Every structure is written in structure tokens, then in C-alpha cells.
């Protein structure tokens, strides 16, 4: 029979094929990509500045969550075998429903009258040829008891984030579709107006006449847009309370100096109510939507069966990244390290571990490299990471309890005793 063949996948030193990421899936390497590094840091910094706390939703959710939220499409959702959880589960196609579910499930409303959350993470949807494609979403959400001032603050956070990235041709379109009662009255009037023109509408818009009529405003068909442009405006159907609320939010945006355009044809997606807004960016070939926001009361009601007040914004950070990359916007890596630690040799590396600890204990951010790179390569890295100070320690310095302090920008350097180096660094940094 002959000698059996060895399994090539387990033979020592032999691999039949390199393992790579799945098609359509990607990773983010901030050390190699300055643009992603800046995007994520600006997002986190903006969220903190505006008082938002982070929530990290789970990767897998029950399929019913997205069905009830109106964010489920069986053809595009990446499912998980029913045998895993005993009920249909999916990879999250969007993050917002998970955030709303977490707020109700964790009963945050019992301990916090006002909650401000921000989130980001990968999602996955099937695209052409049934292949899943990853996206990186982000968003801000306010829950509980709040006023139009919290709305304006959230809009300001998103606007400031996108503007800080160098996006010049941004536009913010805003509208109000009022409370549920206002919507019902208006949808009757809108359906009446469109009933005589239903044969001129596309198939999707004709279907909307049987459900959420407001969705006709979300159609990109030029013929449909021309028809709905002459439709009655919902602003004429707002009750006094809704009208006053909308006026207040516009006045708050004026006070904050945030430019906006009234768009009475914008209705927001399913589950939205009252204030709705969308942020767009004008490109050479058209207009790209960067994200949408509004009240999510209807969505959270359908998910949780309870009426919680929720207002927020969600968008694609991948879309923002691709837009910036295509626009060739010049980005500069932000300074994240105040000191670049350069140990040379085994003895110096051991001594540098103690120096690293002492610097961190003094609230000084440090980039360390305990590797074999030479001093020239390490000093070049110090320039890349924008560290103003480099601390160099070779074998002689380690034995003599000394440290070389180098000004990265000027190249000037001096030798300082170990017991004085931390205080000298703090002095140079103005701490």
C-alpha cells in the first residue's frame, strides 16, 4: 500500500496556503494608517468633550431585534446557524438597534434621568453576489429627560467632528415630521395628493402608499422627486407643540453658529419622529450622505414595548474615511506621546523598564521600543510619532545611571542623571 502521505497542513515548516482575511472583511491598523488614527482619535475626543460615554454593543444579536426595528433585510443580513443559540441570530448590520435595546434591557432609565452615549464598531451586510462586506459605523445618542438644547448639542458634536477633519463642502439639512398624531394626519393628506399620480411613481413608492407614506421622500428616482416636490409640506400640519419644539431647536443651532438648510422633503427612515436631520457632502460627481439623525422614539418603542425618549445620529466612518482618502485631504498624525524612549542593548533595556514606569507614574505619555532597531531608526520613529523629547539610554548610560535627553526637533541633547530626569522632562513639557 505504500507509506501514507503526510498532511501538508501539519508538516513542520510547511503551509499550503497563507491565511488571509475573508473577502469583504477588513481591519484597521492605526499605526500604519494616519488617517484612521486621526478619525478614531477625533471621534473619541469629541465624544468626551461633549460628555458622551462609550457603549460597545455585541457583535451578534437576535434577528428579531432588527426585524422589529425595521433595519432587517433577509437578503443582506449575515445569519448565524439556529443551532448556536436556539433562535435566529445575525451579525449586526447596524449598531443603533443594539444601542436602543441595551438602554431598555439594562434599565438605565431607573438610575439616570439623562444618558449620553456614543458608539462605534464593525458591521457586516451582504452585497453583490451574496458576499458580506464590513463597514465601520459610529453614532451618538441621548436618552431620558432632555430639551431641545441637548438636541442642538448633539448636532454640534457631529458637525464639529466632521468639520475638524477638513471636510469643507458639508451641508446639514433639517426638518420636523412632528409627533405620531401629526404624521397620521399628514400622511393621509400626502396619500390623497399622490393617489392621482400613483401610476407615475416607481414601484417602491407605490408600495409606500400602502405603508409609511413618508418614505416616498427617500426615493432617489428623479421622476418621483419631481412629483413629491409639489406635495403639501408637513410643516403646515405640525401641532403647536411640535412647531414650537422645532423653532426652539433651530434657534439653538443659530445661537451655536451651525449653518443648516430647511428641507421639508426630508422625512428620515422608519422609526423616526419629530426633529430629523441629515449631513451630506458635495463631491465632484454628486452628493454623499454621511449620516442621519433624529428622534428614535418609534424604533425604541417597537424594540422594547415602552416609550423612551431617544435622539441621536448614526453614520459610516468608513464612508468618511473613503471620502477623505479620495479627496486626498492632508492629515497630520496628532501628538500622542510626549516622550520617545530609546534603549540600546540588553542592560539599557532593563534599566529603561524602570524609567518607563517612573514616567508613566508621573502622568507622562511614553512611546517605548524594546527591540533591535538602531538609534537612527528609533529617532526617525520619534519624529513620526511627534514626540518632542527622546530619552536615549545605552550600556554606558545604564551603568553610570545617566540618561541622554534629546530635543527631537532641534537635535540638541544633553546627559542628565537618572534621579533628575523625570523632573527635567516635566519641566521641558511644562508640567
CATH code for position 291: 3.30.930.10
| Same-domain check for residues 73 and 161 | yes
Question: Same domain for 272 and 305?
Answer: yes
Burial class (CB in 10 A: 0-12, 13-18, 19+), 413: middle
Q: pLDDT at residue 88 above 90?
A: no
Mean pLDDT of 154-171: 91
- On whether both 276 and 353 belong to a single domain, the answer is no
The answer, yes or no, to whether residue 8 has pLDDT greater than 70, is no
Q: What percent of the chain has pLDDT over 90?
A: 38
Last residue of a domain, one of 282, 298, 327: 327
8: in domain: no
pLDDT band at residue 411 under the 50/70/90 scheme: confident
Q: Is residue 253 one of the residues assigned to a domain?
A: no
pLDDT at residue number 341: 84
**C-alpha cell, 261:** 438648510
pLDDT per position as a tens digit, 338-357: 888 888 888 888 888 888 88
Share of the chain above pLDDT 70, in %: 89
Domain that includes residue 354, residue range: 339-429
Give the residue from 327, 350, 378 where a domain finishes: 327
**Is residue 334 a part of any domain in this protein?**
no
pLDDT score for 5: 54
Q: Which of 126-140, 210-224, 225-239, 371-385 has the lowest mean pLDDT?
A: 371-385
Residue-level pLDDT at 33: 87
Handedness of CA 293, 299, 304, 306 (dihedral sign): positive
Mean pLDDT, all residues of the chain: 86
Residue 338 region by backbone torsions, left for phi larger than 0, else alpha for psi between -120 and 50, else beta: alpha
Q: Are residues 106 and 76 in the same domain?
A: yes
Q: In this structure, are 320 and 379 located in the same domain?
A: no
> What pLDDT, on the 0 to 100 scale, is given for residue 142?
96
| pLDDT at res. 13 | 55
Cβ-in-10-Å burial (0-12, 13-18, 19+) of 3 comes to exposed
Burial bucket for residue 124 (CB in 10 Å: 0-12, 13-18, 19+): buried
Tell me which of 1 and 191 has the higher pLDDT. 191
Cα diameter, the chain: 92
Q: Highest mean pLDDT range out of 79-88, 94-103, 259-268, 336-345? A: 94-103
Q: Tell me: pLDDT of 7 over 80.
A: no
Does 401 share its domain with 282? no
Q: What is the three-class DSSP state of 85? A: helix
What integer pLDDT is reported at residue 221 of this predicted model? 86
pTM: 0.80
Mean per-residue pLDDT, 376-380: 63
Cβ(91)–Cβ(59) below 8 Å: yes
Residue 373 has pLDDT above 60, yes or no: no
Q: What is the pLDDT of residues 163-181, one digit of tens each?
A: 988 888 899 999 998 888 8
β-strand pairing of 170-176 with 261-262: parallel
Nearest in space to 270 (alpha carbons), one of 60, 72, 64: 72
Section 35-40 average pLDDT: 92
Amino acid 46: pLDDT: 94
Model pLDDT, residue 99: 96
- Decide which of 298, 327, 356 is a domain's last residue: 327
Amino acid at each position: 500500500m505504500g507509506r501514507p502521505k503526510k498532511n501538508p497542513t501539519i508538516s513542520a515548516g510547511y503551509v499550503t496556503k497563507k491565511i488571509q482575511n475573508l473577502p469583504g472583511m477588513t481591519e484597521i491598523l492605526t499605526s500604519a494608517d494616519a488617517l484612521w488614527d486621526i478619525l478614531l482619535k477625533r471621534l473619541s475626543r469629541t465624544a468626551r468633550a461633549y460628555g458622551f460615554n462609550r457603549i460597545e454593543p455585541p457583535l451578534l444579536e437576535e434577528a428579531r431585534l432588527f426585524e422589529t426595528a425595521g433595519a432587517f433585510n433577509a437578503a443582506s443580513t449575515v445569519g448565524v446557524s439556529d443551532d448556536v443559540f436556539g433562535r435566529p441570530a445575525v451579525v449586526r448590520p447596524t449598531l443603533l438597534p443594539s444601542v436602543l435595546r441595551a438602554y431598555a434591557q439594562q434599565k438605565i432609565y431607573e438610575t439616570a434621568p439623562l444618558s449620553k452615549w456614543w458608539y462605534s464598531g464593525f458591521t457586516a451586510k451582504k452585497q453583490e453576489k451574496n458576499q458580506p462586506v464590513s463597514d465601520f459605523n459610529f453614532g451618538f445618542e441621548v436618552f431620558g429627560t432632555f430639551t431641545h438644547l441637548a438636541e442642538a448639542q448633539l448636532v454640534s458634536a457631529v458637525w464639529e467632528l466632521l468639520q475638524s477633519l477638513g471636510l469643507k463642502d458639508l451641508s446639514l439639512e433639517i426638518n420636523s415630521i412632528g409627533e405620531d398624531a401629526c404624521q397620521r394626519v399628514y400622511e393621509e393628506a400626502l396619500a390623497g395628493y399622490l393617489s392621482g399620480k400613483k401610476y407615475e411613481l416607481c414601484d417602491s413608492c407605490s408600495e409606500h402608499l400602502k405603508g409609511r407614506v413618508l418614505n416616498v421622500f427617500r426615493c432617489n428616482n428623479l421622476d418621483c422627486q419631481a412629483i413629491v416636490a409639489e406635495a403639501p409640506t408637513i410643516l403646515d400640519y405640525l401641532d403647536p407643540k411640535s412647531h414650537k419644539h422645532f423653532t426652539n431647536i433651530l434657534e439653538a443651532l443659530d445661537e451655536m453658529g451651525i449653518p443648516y438648510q430647511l428641507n421639508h422633503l426630508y422625512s428620515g427612515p422608519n422609526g423616526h419622529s419629530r426633529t430629523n436631520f441629515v449631513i451630506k457632502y458635495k463631491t465632484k460627481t454628486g452628493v454623499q450622505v454621511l449620516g442621519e439623525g433624529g428622534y428614535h422614539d418609534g424604533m425604541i418603542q417597537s424594540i422594547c414595548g415602552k416609550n423612551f425618549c431617544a435622539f441621536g445620529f448614526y453614520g459610516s466612518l468608513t464612508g468618511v474615511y473613503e471620502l477623505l482618502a479620495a479627496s486626498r485631504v492632508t492629515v497630520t498624525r496628532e501628538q500622542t506621546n510626549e516622550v520617545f524612549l530609546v534603549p540600546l542593548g540588553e542592560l539599557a533595556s532593563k534599566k529603561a523598564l524602570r524609567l518607563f514606569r517612573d514616567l508613566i507614574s508621573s502622568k507622562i505619555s511614553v512611546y517605548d521600543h524594546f527591540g533591535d532597531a538602531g538609534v537612527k531608526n528609533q529617532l526617525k520613529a520619534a519624529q513620526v510619532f511627534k514626540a518632542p523629547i527622546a530619552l536615549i539610554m545605552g550600556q554606558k548610560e545604564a551603568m553610570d545611571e545617566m540618561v541622554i535627553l534629546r530635543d527631537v526637533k532641534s537635535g540638541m541633547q544633553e546627559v542628565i542623571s537618572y534621579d533628575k530626569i523625570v523632573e527635567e522632562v516635566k519641566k521641558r513639557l511644562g508640567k
